A and B are shown apart, each in its own frame.
Chain A
Amino acid sequence: NAGVTQTPKFQVLKTGQSMTLQCAQDMNHEYMSWYRQDPGMGLRLIHYSVGAGITDQGEVPNGYNVSRSTTEDFPLRLLSAAPSQTSVYFCASSSFNYGYTFGSGTRLTVV
């Protein structure tokens, strides 16, 4: 049982490049979310989804897109990377009343 799998673990981008962070879960969870973690800021919600075909914005959605075509996958797309998007990104999924299971994280640096 793999849980929540995030790829890649590390990535360096140049300003203006685009990329997709992948997230997959094998627990048949309806809820999935993306967070970014910055020093002193805790985790901030970027986008979330309550089921396939349904997504919504979190606290800091600008510069990011998501889609949820299947229950298992919830990719996060950076449209045009900026240095302010340098962060650690976590994907998480949950079932009702059980809290989130987090992926191992992606450390992204934009230069």
Chain B
Amino acid sequence: ELKVEQNPLFLSMQEGKNYTIYCNYSTTSDRLYWYRQDPGKSLESLFVLLSNGAVKQEGRLMASLDTKARLSTLHITAAVHDLSATYFCAGDFAMNRDDKIIFGKGTRLHILP
């Protein structure tokens, strides 16, 4: 069964602190994605990770991929209130030349001023 599991599902943290969101997936994934969703809005693409060891950074967010451990992380450095949102990881599972992108349940991040 294709599964993508995120933890934690809810995170409340102070501004200025660092934290990591974890994303585990159940089987080989060709690609791993991170998305951001603000309340009542659509999903915005943050990172696309294509290979083992891939690391991408944008501002205070950094994503990495370890395909051997089937693990991706989203690290937040010196959090600011504007980063409050729900973050989703998604695995791209290519099966029989078809692509299924399966999402985790999301991590709701609340950053306290």
A102 touches B42 (CB 8 A): yes
Taking a contact as CB atoms closer than 8 A, the residue among B33, B41, B106 that contacts A100 in the complex is B33
Q: Chain A residues near B106 (CB, 8 Å)?
A: 42
Answer whether residue B105 sits at the interface, using C-beta atoms and an 8 A cutoff. Answer: yes
Contact with B along A19-57 (1 / 0, CB 8 A): 000000000000101010000111111001010000010
Answer whether residue A103 sits at the interface, using C-beta atoms and an 8 A cutoff. Answer: yes
Question: How many interface residues does chain A have, given as a range?
Answer: 20 to 34
Given A41-B105, A42-B103, A105-B42: A99 and B98 within 8 A (CB)?
no
A42 touches B104 (CB 8 A): yes
Answer whether residue B102 sits at the interface, using C-beta atoms and an 8 A cutoff. Answer: yes
Give the nearest-CB partner of A6 in chain B: B42
**Which among B44, B50, B98, B104 has the highest number of chain A CB atoms within 10 Å?**
B98
B100 touches A42 (CB 8 A): no
Give the nearest-CB partner of B45 in chain A: A99
A45 touches B102 (CB 8 A): yes
Name B residues whose Cβ lies closer than 8 Å to a Cβ of A.
31, 33, 35, 41-45, 48, 50, 88, 90, 97-106
